[in-house]
Amino acid sequence: MSDGFRLPGRHGPPTPAAVLVPLVNRPEGLHVLLTQRSADLPDHAGQISFPGGRVEPGDPDHRAAALREAAEEIGLAADRVALLGDLADYETVTGFRVAPVVGWIEPPLSLRPDPVEVADVFEVPLAFLLDPAHQQRHFRMLGAHRRDYWAIPYGERYIWGATAAMLMILDRTLRAED
């Protein structure tokens, strides 16, 4: 779903990254745990995202990186996550090739968000995110270039860009297996 567009100054090979797509098993149905990034971060400041980040040299693989990043960013212990599988990679306009890893979480949750990286942690019902009525195409003009992207507004939250695109990948993956 990525179109290969890069922001100016972000050329070269993509930086490997991984995110955890945490599915929380609530009595009323599955929820997706998301974060709002701190406003002071250099990339994607203030945006809604999955817990995740760069794959570090010490990470055995992208799954380990996703679990490590979730522990660092929101205090989610790796032993609380049952990994279900991988989604297709997504390349961001900022030059990251993101490997989304889907994980199952049984409550209760005990989270400790890192205030430097995370402004907020919240959940959205999976059924809301997968409803085509909520999946929207938006665009912005960057100079003469039109940038189309997915958005899934949720109350006062604006889930867009890479996170919304990865949710669309999850949606298409689930529908393909029906």
* Averages of pLDDT over each 10 residues, the chain, 178 residues: 54 87 98 91 76 96 98 96 96 88 96 93 97 89 79 93 93 82
pLDDT (0 to 100) of residue 19: 97
Q: Count of H helices and E strands in the chain?
A: 3, 11
pLDDT score recorded for residue 29:
97
Secondary structure element (H or E) that encloses residue 153, with its range: strand 145-154
Q: CA 93: distance to chain centroid?
A: 14
pLDDT of residue 3: 54
Q: Quote the pLDDT of residue 102.
A: 98
Query: What whole-number distance in Å separates Cα of residue 160 and Cα of residue 61?
Result: 27
Decide: 119 and 46 in contact? Cβ < 8 Å.
Answer: yes
pTM of the model: 0.89
- To which H or E segment does residue 141 belong? strand 136-142
- Tokens 């945006």 belong to 47
